[in-house]
Amino acid sequence: MNNQHRIVSSESEELILVDRDDNEIGYASKADAHDGDGILHRAFSLFLFNEAGELLLQQRAPSKRLWGGYWSNSCCSHPRRGESLSVATSRRLLDELNFDTELEYVYRFCYEADFGSAGSENELCHVFLGRAANNVQPNESEISGIRYIAADDLAKALEQHPDSYTPWFKQEWRELNRNYAEQLSSYCAV
């Protein structure tokens, strides 16, 4: 199996449970952390931009348990038990997009989002900015499509088709534009 079809996550991997201040309080399987209303766990979201300042979006594979087929930010996942955010973000970039890059931490926040009987997100999410590689090769077991989009076009797309995008992505993008525009402007024209 080549890199573009590797299975890189499972419902049994152990995620890090945290309190609202991001203190580790235990571990749970990915399945348990997302069942029902979910259990608060550590996560991360990466926003990667090309040299033209366009954001790399990914369309989640339809096989994903939560929000399969929806468009989202460049990469998002969870550190596993015993993994730092730095190690987890590098691992996941390689797993999903087949490259690694330097990341700039921006902020963290808690959110919950329900996806009906399939489960929920209940995450303390760390948000990072970075540059996308020139030759992105998505792992098709995780990502069904990618595209680059300018900030103005993204604003229109989110207004016209809000139900096509993941809830965390919409919330993070609003927050980045509202409260972190200076950091964001070093990657894209906002």
Query: DSSP for 119-156?
Result: -EEEEEEEEEEEEPPSS----TTTEEEEEEE-HHHHHH
DSSP-derived 3-state class of residue 172: helix
Question: pTM for this structure?
Answer: 0.93
Between CA 131 and CA 48, with CA 162 as vertex, the angle to 5 degrees is 5
pLDDT the model gives residue 135: 84
Return the bridge partners of 104, or none.
129
Tens of pLDDT, residues 2-30:
456 666 566 679 999 999 999 999 999 99
Beta bridge partners of 58: 72, 146
Q: Which two tokens stand for residue 54?
A: 């366009």
Q: Which of 3-12, 67-76, 100-109, 157-166 has the lowest mean pLDDT?
A: 3-12
To the nearest 5 percent, what fractions of the chain are helix, strand and coil?
Answer: 30, 35, 35
Catalytic residues: 76, 123
pLDDT at 1 over 50: no
Cα 69 to Cα 59: distance, rounded to the nearest angstrom: 6
| Span 161-171, pLDDT tens digits | 999 999 999 99
Smallest CA-to-CA distance from 17 within 37, 44, 43, 35 is with 43
Assign 77 a pLDDT band (cuts: 50, 70, 90). Answer: very high
**CA nearest neighbour of 67 among 152, 138, 143, 157:** 143
Task: Tell me the two tokens of residue 25.
Answer: 């309080």
CB 158, CB 78: distance < 8 Å: no
- What is the dotted CATH code of the domain comprising 3-183? 3.90.79.10
The arithmetic mean of pLDDT across residues 94-118, rounded, is 95
Sign of CA dihedral 133, 60, 177, 77: negative
